[in-house]
């Protein structure tokens, strides 16, 4: 039976990045990915400035840029309570949140995964596709079995890593409980091609009537768009012409530039998710550690899953490189940092969702008052600093109920 230092289940962003980092350190790494090819599953394609810093710290930023990683430099928040010209004149420069980072980085998810998987293999990892994990033994002598091309292979490892996403088989096998907030809104995403006229460096969000939108260009007329709508509208974007009706929902008086998105062509599937936060108390147990979504995920309304995953990779790889003790006690600093990071980001996401993804008269009035008061008291918009610069940057009081009450009004 072959023995590896690390056996990583899941070759998405987290698993492949960790495999590349550890294989570059000369560790023996087995990387197991169930899919044969990476396809558009409507997953993250926008990395926050603090996440870009994490990609640098693990030595993968240059690679992401080389394969087409595209920086954005400006943000506009449109809203039905704002004059669009005034909203555009208040565009936020995005190069202010992290040293030497021009702004968020956008890259298609399938290409991102493939690039990291190839990097892991190039660095010497035993990286395999089309694999089904059939047995997992955790505890003091970790081992697993998998099937590939009709053959069953059994291996042992010093540590098994669960990087297998939201429905993690490894988390389940380790008996690590996943806590979840109640869903807040529907969130659908679509890749759009042929978008002429939308500035390549401009991201925008906005809410009007019963729909909230987000748009993140990837260069060359391609834009990843997301739309949020009320939980009661499960069937709103179902059926054969759903992608067209979804794009038509972007036509907004308060964001006239959206006409360019409406005129674009769907270039991938339209998938809808219910947005909420989830978390684990301790993303590790004897013989196992979880990274990325497997360890719990933040509501995608603030687009931080990739940044969170890259930080997980950095923290876990630093601990594994620093010592030969790979026990839960040695991994505790990762768990501690992640717990507070996810708590803060949960507060930031629920505040943002309460602002952008609630609809109707009361929500409209709440947004209008928020914009008015935040213009006079920038502290009320500080949760956005957590999104862009990192959750550790704003003071602790930003992540309290008292702050939420100040930012949204006590009734929210």
Ligand X SMILES: Cc1cc2nc3c(=O)[nH]c(=O)nc-3n(C[C@H](O)[C@H](O)[C@H](O)COP(=O)(O)OP(=O)(O)OC[C@H]3O[C@@H](n4cnc5c(N)ncnc54)[C@H](O)[C@@H]3O)c2cc1C
Residues that bind ligand X (CB under 6 A): 9-15, 32-35, 42-47, 131, 133, 163-165, 169, 187, 189, 273, 292-294, 297, 300, 303-307, 309
Nearer to ligand X, 2 or 134 (CB): 134
When the beta carbons of 35 and 137 are compared against ligand X, the nearer one is 35
Helix/strand/coil (H/E/C) assignment for every residue in 290-313: ECHHHHCCCCHHHCCHHHHHHHHH
The nearest distance, CB 70 to ligand X, in angstroms, is 13
Cβ atoms of 47 and 307 within 8 Å: the answer is: yes
Q: Which structure tokens are listed for 176?
A: 């690590």
What span, in angstroms and rounded, lies between the C-alpha atoms of 209 and 207? 7
- Encoded tokens for 134: 């059939």
Instruction: Report which of 101, 105, 384 is spatially closest to residue 217, judged by C-alpha positions.
Output: 105
Distance, in Å, from the CA atom of 172 to the CA atom of 168, rounded to the nearest integer, reads 6
| CA 105/CA 113 separation, integer angstroms | 15
Least distance from ligand X to the Cβ atom of residue 183, Å: 12
Query: What angle is formed at CA 232 by the lines to CA 87 and CA 179, rounded to 5 degrees?
Result: 90
* Minimum gap (Å) between residue 367 Cβ and ligand X: 22
C-alpha distances (whole Å) from 166 to each of 15, 140, 278 are 13, 25, 9
Residue placing its CB nearer to ligand X in the complex, 42 or 382: 42
Nearest to ligand X of 45, 79 (CB atom): 45
Whole-number minimum distance, CB 85 to ligand X, in Å? 28
In this complex, which beta carbon is closest to ligand X, that of residue 17 or of residue 408? 17
Nearer to ligand X, 304 or 408 (CB): 304
State in angstroms the smallest separation of the CB of 83 from ligand X: 28
* Distance of closest approach, residue 148 Cβ to ligand X, in angstroms: 11
CA count, 13 A, side-chain hemisphere, 383: 29
Backbone angles phi, psi at 404, to 5 degrees: -60, -45
């Amino acid at each position: 039976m072959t023995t590896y230092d690390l056996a990583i289940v899941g070759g998405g962003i987290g698993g492949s990045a960790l495999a590349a980092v550890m294989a570059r350190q000369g560790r023996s790494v087995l990387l197991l990915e169930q899919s044969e090819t990476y396809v558009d599953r409507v997953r993250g394609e926008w990395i926050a400035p603090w996440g870009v810093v994490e990609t640098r710290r693990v030595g993968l930023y240059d690679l992401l840029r080389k394969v087409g990683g595209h920086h954005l430099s400006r943000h506009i928040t449109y809203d039905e309570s704002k004059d669009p010209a005034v909203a555009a004149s208040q565009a936020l420069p995005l190069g202010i949140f992290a040293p030497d980072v021009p702004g968020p980085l956008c890259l298609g998810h399938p290409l991102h995964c493939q690039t990291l998987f190839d990097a892991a293999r190039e660095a010497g990892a035993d990286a395999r596709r089309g694999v089904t994990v059939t047995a997992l033994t955790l505890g003091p002598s970790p081992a697993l079995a998998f099937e590939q091309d009709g053959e069953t292979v059994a291996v042992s490892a010093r540590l098994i890593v669960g990087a297998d996403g939201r429905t993690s088989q490894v988390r389940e096998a380790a008996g690590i409980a996943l806590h979840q907030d109640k869903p807040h809104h529907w969130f659908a995403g679509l890749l759009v091609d042929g978008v002429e006229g939308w500035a390549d460096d401009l991201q925008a969000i906005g809410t009007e009537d019963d729909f909230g939108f987000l748009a993140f260009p990837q260069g060359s007329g391609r834009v990843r768009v997301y739309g949020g709508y009320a939980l009661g509208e499960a069937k709103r974007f179902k059926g054969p012409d759903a992608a067209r009706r979804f794009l038509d929902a972007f036509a907004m008086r308060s964001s006239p530039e959206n006409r360019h998105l409406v005129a674009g062509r769907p270039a991938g599937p339209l998938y809808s998710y219910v947005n909420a936060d989830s978390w684990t108390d301790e993303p590790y147990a004897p013989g196992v550690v979880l990274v990325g979504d497997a360890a719990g995920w933040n509501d995608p309304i603030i687009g931080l899953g990739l940044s969170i995953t890259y930080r997980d990779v950095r923290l876990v790889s630093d601990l594994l490189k620093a010592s030969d003790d790979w026990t839960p006690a040695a991994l505790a600093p990762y768990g501690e940092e992640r717990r507070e990071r996810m708590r803060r980001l949960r507060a930031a996401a629920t505040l943002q969702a309460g602002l952008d993804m609630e609809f109707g008269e009361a929500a409209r009035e709440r947004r209008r008052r928020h914009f008015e008061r935040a213009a006079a008291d920038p502290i009320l918009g500080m949760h956005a600093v957590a999104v862009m610069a990192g959750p550790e940057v704003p003071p602790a009081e930003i992540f309290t109920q008292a702050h939420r009450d100040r930012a949204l009004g006590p009734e929210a």
